[in-house]
Amino acid sequence: MVIIDLASVASEDELHRLLQREFDFPDFYGRNWAAFRDAISGLVLIPEHVRFVGWKPLAERVPELRLLGDLRAWPPSAPCATAAYRCAPARHASP
């Protein structure tokens, strides 16, 4: 499981920059939600499980993110096999 700490994020742009770094999106990543959808559906392999820490406080700091709902755990509901994004094999964290 990949854990992404959102505590230092103060804007939607900063969130996109963090996602770009954590998921190794290409340099041409557009840092918007359409580009995010494109990236996770064909450009990069997303870990099978991602945990976003600090989503609720971030949504309070950046109100436009409330439209995304609660993304504390990835994938939101569907198993990787049926989701519209490309999943990397699960990697287990070291103890």
Contact present, 53 and 6 (Cβ < 8 Å): yes
pLDDT in tens, 32-68: 888 988 888 888 888 888 888 888 888 888 877 765 6
In a domain, 83, yes or no: yes
pLDDT in tens, 63-87: 777 656 545 444 444 344 333 444 4
In a domain, 95, yes or no: no
Give 12's DSSP letter. Answer: H
Residue 66, phi then psi, degrees to nearest 5 = -60, -25
In a domain, 74, yes or no: yes
Can you give the residue range of the structural domain that contains 78? 2-88
Number of domains comprising the chain: 1
In a domain, 93, yes or no: no
CATH of the domain at 77: 3.30.370
